[in-house]
Structure 1
Amino acid sequence: MTQHLTILTGASRGMGLEMARQLLQPGHTLITLSRQPSGQLHAPEGAQLEQWAQDLADGAGAARRLRDWLAGQQAGRFASATLINNAGVIPRIAPLSDSDAADLANALRVGLEAPMQLTAAFLGATEGWAVPRKVLNISSGLGRKAMASQAAYCAAKAGMDHFTRCLALDEAAKPHGARVCSLAPGVIDTDMQVQLRGADASDFPDVQNFANLKAGGMLASPAGAAARVLAWLQRADFGANPVADVREA
């Protein structure tokens, strides 16, 4: 059976885990990259799953591993190839002046550097594949709106948006370039939201706003958000706007 290939980062929890579950359908091969494999993921008959234990703080190592794996695949094995850069971290919530240098570096490595390195490896290794290719970067509204005590996360997502714009120009100039999009998935009820709601108000002026989102039932479930993101990936006009938001649909 010809398989559709998807590579997904940050698949061990939250929306990433739900995307992985929904992608594991007959006719699909899923490669996940997370610090720890998930015991909740199982491939049904007709699907294939590989879980790579990979710390994306070492983006260069992850990119080498991905490039080598892709280079070893037989021509014609896959009917399509997609990379979803989903992983991200929020460092300790605090003003930049009170932030730890190593913590900031880790957030930028995982949230921006690794996606760029993985995207370069994916597109370079598959450039000769005569199949549709896509790159979906999971961004955030905070990449487009400044927020106090969130400098590293906002910067990583803003950088993701802008490198996707540049990438879209690169790929549009090629005869069979990939389609790319940096997509904000909306506000989701994940561990990241718990972290934001639990921050000290003296460090995080917006803490009450996040508490109100939870109290008002305004957070999407991880499964619902995953379904909307994957539906966007299948749109006929995917990539027409390289920076988008699911709430624009």
Structure 2
Amino acid sequence: MADTHLYILTGASRGMGLAMAQQLLAPGHTLLCISRKENAALAAQAAQAGCKLEQWPLDLAHSREAAAMLRQWLGRPGVRHAGATLINNAGMIPRIAPLSDMDPDDLAQALRVGLEAPMALCAAFLAATEGWGVPRRILNISSGLGRRPMASQAVYCAAKAGMDHYTRCLALEEAHKPKGAQVCSLAPGVIDTDMQVQLRGADAAAFPDRARFEQLKNGGQLDSPEAAARKVLAYLNRPDFGSEPVADVRA
């Protein structure tokens, strides 16, 4: 058995995902990043850090193909690690508008990326690694908006609420297995990313909460992607990880 720990991370090309990828680059780690495009700088950093890195340029809206690739890759003969972790970080906010004004294609794509893909990747990960006999963890990056409603955010709120609840179900399933995975859907706090720029730039007439996001920025209440990544990875490494299937780094 290899002595490396395998990390699989989606949405690693920018924001907190990129910061997490950079912080996971360490000897003894193997990192698979799944994003819409590769990051050449990350590859150079991995080589310097002595970390094995693989990058898959995939659109997670094609969740079936991504899950099939992952299951096949994990199932290669002789592939073993001392531990394995899946971090479902990728997500997207469609056009910010009331549901009645949403384009059906935008709605469907956001749900595929934000909910269908994480579920499909979880299923592939668990099925392929169940016989490894090593510690396994699944960290789903959720949001406070999965736990409280917001006008003109029905699609994003629904995706994150769905993520929280399927994680609860998954925790019950894995608890019945002799070496089940530890799972958690974690809200990472408010982070200064492109998503926040999108929220602050929305039409105030269509998005009643825009001023709240402007206040968060102006009041210096947003974590940098790097700070948020440190908090999330610290939570992932807690000995009690998974004791609460739905959690918040701020709790």
1:114 matched residue in structure 2:
117
Residue 13 of structure 2 is matched in structure 1 by: 12
Pick aligned residue for 1:64 from 68, 93, 97: 68
Take 1:10 and 1:162, find their aligned partners in 2: how far apart are those partners? 21
SS in 1 for 2:41: coil
**C-alpha distance in 2, partners of 1:5/1:74?**
14
- In structure 2, stretches of 5+ residues that fail to align are none
Matches within 5 A, 1:100-249: 100-248=103-251
Q: Structure 2 CA distance, aligned partners of 1:144 and 1:229?
A: 18
RMSD, aligned CA: 0.9
2:97 to 94, 97, 113: 94
- The two structures have a TM-score, normalised by structure 2, of 0.97
Point out where structure 1 has 5 or more consecutive residues left out of the alignment: none
Per-residue Cα deviation, 1:52-94 (whole angstroms, up to 9, x for no partner): 001000000000000000000525x311000000000000000
Percentage of identical aligned residues: 70
What is aligned with 1:48?
A: 52
CA displacement at 1:49 relative to structure 2:
0.2
Is 2:94 aligned against 1:82?
no
Shift of 1:47: 1.1
Aligned partners of 1:216, 1:46: CA distance in 2, in Å? 39
Q: Which amino acid aligns with 2:241?
A: F
- Any runs of at least 4 consecutive aligned residues in structure 1 with deviations exceeding 2 A, and if so which? none
Instruction: Give distance in 2, aligned partners of 1:145 and 1:45.
Output: 40
Is the alpha carbon distance of 1:177 and 1:200 closer, same or farther for their aligned partners in structure 2, counting shifts above 3 Å?
same
How big is each residue's C-alpha offset from its partner over 1:142-166, in whole Å with a ceiling of 9 and x where there is no partner? 0000000000000000000000000
Instruction: Give the drift of 1:40.
Output: 2.5
Structure 1 residue 38: Cα displacement: 1.3
Q: Whole-Å Cα distance in 2 between the matches of residues 6 and 73 of structure 1? A: 19
1:32 aligned partner: 33
Q: Distance in 2 between matches of 1:18 and 1:64?
A: 27
**How many Å separate the matches in 2 of 1:45 and 1:101?**
44
